[in-house]
Amino acid sequence: MWKRLSLRARILALLMALVLTTIGGGLVTLWHNAAMDSLLTSLIDKNVASYHAAEELESALLQQKGFLTYYFLDGNPEWLKEIERYSRAFEGWLVKARESAYTEAMKEIIAQIDVQHHQYVIARERVIALYREGQRKAGAELHWEIRQQYVAILNLCQRYKLTHEYAISRARTESQARARFINAFALVAVPAAAVLGVLLAYILIKQILGPIRRLALETTPANPDHRVPDEVKALSTRVHSLIEDVDQAQTELERSQEHLLQSGKLAMVGKLAAGVAHSIRNPLTSVNFRLHCLKSTLAMSPSQQDDFQVISEEIRHIDSILRNFLEFSRPPKLKVQRVSPSDVVNMALVLLRYRLESYGVEVKLIRPHRLPEIWADPDQLKEVLANLLVNACEVMVNGGVITIQEEERLEPPLGPAVVIRMSDNGPGIPESVRDQVFQPFFSTKEEGTGLGLSIATRIIEDHGGRLELESRENEGATFIITLPLGKNESWATS
């Protein structure tokens, strides 16, 4: 039913609902005001109850004083019973007053009354004791002295009563003022909302819906039977269609350019790797072998030994570059087995122990417990860890600390997973190149091939995990390896 209405009918219906809602809100405000007044009245009643307790305290205190005077006049022991009865009554009303006190000032007055009444009772007992012993003169003198205590307690009772009188008066005044304000506001807001609703409907119809409708009719096909139920929707559809066409064309163009560039790189790597495999690596191996044979047979001077060492290092460097190219162009198949990532970390640290020492790098291993076994290729995981460790060593030219933290946790959408965080305190990675470090052939090192992190990413993804980077410039870098626990033996043997 709602979809069949024109846009104009929908807006009018919404405006009517707005007006009715506003009027209903005003009525609810009036009802809320009455409810609040009732609530405040109940609060006032509490003050009245506490006020009543204050009056009873005053009355009980007066009775105690009066019966003590009667006992002084005729010595009738019945007056002592009455004194005791009103003393207990005073204590009872004091408990009720303490329970109904809700401000710190009230509680403080009650505490003072309690202390002074206790002192008054002790002094009164001494007066009674003197009267009983026949020392009426001494008793009368002490009786006159404790009158000052009585007056102090009476003043506190009257002060407590005045406190409640003031609280009652203030609460009632505030309640009446708020009620008058809310009533006045509601009486002004309700007609104002109705007038504004009518004015808004006029503006929408004359100045917005009319021009939009004409524009929608001009952009629709020329069909006399065609009806435009929703002018804004028709315009929005056409504009969005144009925007989507432009965005889609731009996206496709960028995707095509990126795909062509990547395809060219991969094709170049494939050809280069095939040629390298037959034309360079075999002779290089032979040269390396002959070089080591010469080293064992020749007696060389220290400078010649240094030259020999440089040549050997450069041959190893060339072999490493060739191996990276071959691994990138023809990635080896995973040879998975049950292994704990903690054991792989240990193997990588043992493998690189002397290199870490030569760089002056300290490794801190945080391992609450040995990680559970997963299906993985330990050699390829070790290659990933070794690559990350070497990269961290090379950026910390003056030595530093590498922290490896292992943990097991739930990682959506992988589910249960093991996580290895490798952090260094090096210079970090600039934000401008942070998104490019995992791309093939990108390197910040002069002699790098730019394939190490790309190969590491591929290995981790082949294991069903992910390799992530967290870094801030001048605050070090953290590489996070996440491997799922949920892979089973059927995946491993497939």
146-160, 181-195, 267-281: least confidently modelled range: 267-281
Who has greater pLDDT, 38 or 273?
38
Q: Mean pLDDT over all residues of the chain? A: 75
Q: How many domains does the chain have?
A: 3
Q: How many CB atoms lie within 10 A of CB 201?
A: 19
- pLDDT at site 142: 80
Query: Does 59 map to a domain?
Result: yes
- pLDDT at site 402: 92
Same domain, 47 and 196: yes
214-218, 268-272, 313-317, 366-370: least confidently modelled range: 268-272
Structure tokens, 168: 């009652």
Query: Does 164 map to a domain?
Result: yes
Burial-class residue 35 by CB neighbours within 10 Å (0-12, 13-18, 19+): exposed
- pLDDT at site 153: 80
Same domain, 62 and 194: yes
- pLDDT at site 238: 61
Domain boundary among 202, 222, 255: 202
Same domain, 323 and 368: no
Query: Does 228 map to a domain?
Result: no
Q: Say yes or no to pLDDT of 405 above 90.
A: yes
Same domain, 151 and 257: no
Q: Which residues of 340-352 are buried (b: 16+ CB within 10 A; e: fewer)?
A: bbbebbebbbeeb
41-50, 98-107, 194-203, 307-316: least confidently modelled range: 41-50
Nearest to residue 404, comparing CAs of 390, 429, 422, 418?
422
Write out the DSSP string of 204-230: IIIIIIHHHHHHHHHHS---TT---S-
Which residues, other chains included, contact 164 with Cβ-Cβ below 8 Å and sequence gap of 6+?
47, 48, 50, 51, 54, 106
- Cα dihedral 116, 118, 123, 125 sign: positive
Same domain, 357 and 322: no
Percent of the chain with pLDDT over 70: 67
CA distance 384 to 391: 11
End-to-end CA distance of the chain: 56
Check residue 209 and report its DSSP letter.
I
Nearest to residue 376, comparing CAs of 302, 458, 459?
459
| Radius of gyration, alpha carbons of the chain | 47
CA distance 266 to 274: 12
Q: Say yes or no to pLDDT of 89 above 70.
A: yes
68-82, 108-122, 253-267: least confidently modelled range: 253-267
Structure tokens, 143: 């009786």
Estimate to the nearest angstrom the gap between the alpha carbon of 52 and the chain centroid: 52
Query: Does 349 map to a domain?
Result: yes
Cβ–Cβ under 8 Å, residues 158 and 58: yes
CA distance 124 to 130: 10
Check residue 485 and report its DSSP letter.
S
CA angle 416-418-421, nearest 5°?
Answer: 140
The answer, as to whether pTM is greater than 0.75, is no
Which residues, other chains included, contact 48 with Cβ-Cβ below 8 Å and sequence gap of 6+?
164, 168
Cβ–Cβ under 8 Å, residues 454 and 342: no
Helix, strand, coil fractions of the chain, as percent rounded to 5: 70, 10, 20
Q: What CATH number corresponds to the domain at position 309? A: 1.10.287
Q: Which domain holds residue 32?
A: 7-202
Same domain, 312 and 355: no
Bridge partners of 337?
376
Structure tokens, 427: 């210079």
Same domain, 195 and 239: no
pLDDT tier at 493, thresholds 50, 70, 90: very low
Check residue 450 and report its DSSP letter.
S
Query: Does 316 map to a domain?
Result: yes
Cβ–Cβ under 8 Å, residues 439 and 454: yes
Query: Does 215 map to a domain?
Result: no
* Strongest mean pLDDT among 80-89, 319-328, 384-393: 384-393
Same domain, 427 and 463: yes
Domain boundary among 283, 312, 328: 328
Estimate to the nearest angstrom the gap between the alpha carbon of 45 and the chain centroid: 45
Q: What CATH number corresponds to the domain at position 365? A: 3.30.565.10
CA distance 339 to 319: 29
Identity of residue 461: E
Over residues 394-403, the pLDDT tens digits come to 888 788 899 9
Same domain, 313 and 340: no
Over residues 38-85, the pLDDT tens digits come to 656 655 666 666 667 777 777 777 787 777 777 777 777 787 788 788
User: What is the number of helices (H) and of strands (E) in the chain?
Assistant: 13, 7
